[in-house]
């Protein structure tokens, strides 16, 4: 299994398939790079080099006690990009991975990057504050912390329902997708996943978004119950100059997995435009 060893000794697992212009996928919490398998196959078959890593303490990467914060995630991503010498790169980030991509660009620059796609992404800020009244109150994230700390397995099973919109009237529940989510979540380390909750909820990515100077596409479900669109893509797409916002009406947080054909086609169109 291919891995890089970062400067602090952490092993970051990644998948690297195909040839052509590289696309790097950054996953959401508490998942892993395998969440992108429908995209990896599709874009690999369409002539792109596809790379997906497991964030530290997630998936097959090292489970670290320290360093589970966004500065380090961005630095790990930079080390991977530099180790693989990726250029003319398309970065695609979902949820927490959208924060990771934004922070990488803000912290390490855009010289290796051609285009950016942020999907159900957490920027600019998920937490409700006086300056961000559209955000979610802190007790929501404290509840996620409690569920993760005390009953992680059941909490992850329950989380799949709003994550994929399976709790909505008339929704067709995909049990295989629920099981895949649970499996990826439980493969990660509890300490790193617990720490990561702060990173997707309380970190303000506004300044990172301001530094993005490459063509950027935001895709967000109007019925995203995990990262509400009003506090996320509606704001972020106005901060990034020239950004495009594509709203999937009635769609969920996990839209890339629930609607892979639609999502893949839209992203391919954007990449080729």
Catalytic residues: 95, 224, 253
Task: Enumerate residues 6+ apart whose C-beta is below 8 A from 39.
Answer: 25, 50, 92, 256, 260, 263, 264, 267
**Long-range CB pairs of 80-84, under 8 A, 24+ apart, other chains included:** 80/4, 80/12, 80/14, 80/24, 80/51, 80/53, 81/24, 81/112, 83/4, 84/16, 84/22, 84/51
Q: Rounded distance, CA 231 to CA 245, Å?
A: 14
Residues in the chain: 273
Q: What letter does residue 129 receive in the DSSP assignment?
A: B
């Amino acid at each position: 299994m291919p891995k890089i060893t970062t400067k602090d000794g952490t092993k970051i697992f990644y998948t690297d398939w195909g040839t052509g212009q590289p696309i790097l996928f950054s996953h959401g919490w508490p998942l892993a790079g395998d969440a992108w398998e429908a995209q990896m196959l599709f874009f690999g078959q369409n002539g792109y080099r596809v790379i997906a890593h497991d964030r530290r303490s997630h998936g097959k990467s090292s489970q670290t006690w320290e360093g589970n914060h966004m500065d380090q995630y961005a630095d790990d991503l930079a080390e991977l990009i530099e180790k693989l010498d990726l250029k003319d790169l398309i970065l695609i980030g979902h949820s927490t991975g959208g924060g990771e991509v934004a922070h990488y660009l803000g912290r390490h620059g855009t010289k290796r990057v051609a285009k950016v796609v942020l999907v159900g992404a957490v920027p600019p800020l998920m937490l409700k504050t006086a300056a961000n009244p559209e955000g979610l109150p802190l007790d929501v994230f404290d509840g996620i912390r409690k569920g993760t700390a005390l009953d992680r397995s059941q909490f992850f099973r329950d989380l799949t329902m709003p994550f994929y919109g399976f709790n909505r009237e008339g929704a067709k529940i995909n049990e295989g997708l629920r099981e895949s989510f649970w499996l990826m979540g439980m493969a990660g380390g509890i300490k790193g996943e617990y720490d990561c909750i702060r990173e997707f909820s309380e970190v303000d990515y506004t300044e990172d978004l301001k530094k993005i100077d490459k063509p950027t596409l935001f895709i967000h479900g109007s019925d995203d119950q995990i990262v509400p669109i009003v506090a996320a893509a509606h704001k972020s797409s106005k901060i990034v100059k020239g950004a495009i916002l594509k709203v999937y009406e009635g769609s969920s947080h996990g839209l890339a997995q629930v609607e892979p054909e639609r999502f893949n086609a839209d992203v391919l169109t954007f990449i080729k435009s």
